[in-house]
Amino acid sequence: MLENKVAIVTGSGSGIGRAIALLYAAEGARVVVSDIDEKAGNDAVSEIKQNGGEAVFVKADTSNPEDGKRLVDETVKTFGGLHLAVNNAGIGGPLKQTGEYPVDGWDKVIAINLSGVFYGLRYQIPAMLKSGGGSIINIASILGKAGTKGSPAYVAAKHGVVGLTKAAALEYADQHIRINAVGPGYIVTPLLTESLDDDVLKALVGLHPIGRLGTGEEVAELALWLNSDKASFVTGAYYNIDGGYLAQ
């Protein structure tokens, strides 16, 4: 489905990003795996190659605009262009109410989860224009549409990602670049399971009418469709994949 395409997936050393990178490679894309965790990123590349795919690893911190530019430059240098991107890298941040929220925690969450997506778009879009067009997915969250207590920075950042997606999509709709957002519910990833205890995880399951948490592979299937030519009339959209969470 993605033959002859070059794709960047940020935060693809683990979790949702890794699942997307693996699926894109299996569908024929040449994938640039990017993460701050060098070992995890190289492990993802090794898995892709073992399965017959083509990939390289570029270490990059999405909160650093210079890294965002270098990631795109190295992608174009290695594979000759850029057609697809998934701006997935993100963190949860501290769990505190707004009146007690640490300022440095706010700054870090916004830098990675919102500014990092902007830096991605800032350098991916010019490269895609030179390649004749492309498609970008920004990974938002159900908390890009709803609120929750104790995560004001995360909620603000993910709402911002949805707005940024719409603005950029309108700007480039007539230049053969589609830009969409995906809003996962609670997904079984290291980011989630390592930070929460079993009782909290069970409570999270109860928030999803479907009766379980999602998987990275399920999100990857949506990301595959959105970045494929099968979604050629879709831009500026937000697709939640949340087991019914936002239907309540």
The predicted structure's pLDDT at residue 174 = 98
Strand segments (E) across 42-164? 54-59, 84-87, 134-139
Encoded tokens for 58: 């570029």
* CATH 3.40.50.720 given to domain 6-242: yes
CA atoms of 212 and 195, how far apart (whole Å): 18
Measured between alpha carbons, how far is 135 from 237 in angstroms, rounded to an integer?
A: 12
Q: How far apart are CA 180 and CA 223, in angstroms?
A: 10
Band of the pLDDT at 195, cuts 50, 70, 90?
confident
**Sequence ranges of the domains in the chain:** 6-242
pLDDT value of position 21: 98
- Nearest C-alpha neighbor of 221 from the set 52, 16, 45: 16
Yes or no: say if 144 and 137 are a contact pair by the CB < 8 Å rule. Answer: no
| Active site annotation includes 154 | yes
- The 10s digit of each residue's pLDDT in 42-66 is 999 999 999 999 999 999 999 999 9
> How far apart (Å, rounded) are the C-alpha atoms in residues 213 and 243?
8
User: Lowest-confidence range among 116-130, 141-155, 179-193?
Assistant: 179-193
User: What is the reported pLDDT for 192?
Assistant: 78
Summarize pLDDT for 82-114 with one digit per residue, the tens: 999 999 999 999 999 999 999 999 999 999 999
Query: Active site residue: 119, 154, 172, 239, which one?
Result: 154
Q: State the pLDDT at residue 243.
A: 98
Q: Are 141 and 184 in contact (CB under 8 A)?
A: yes
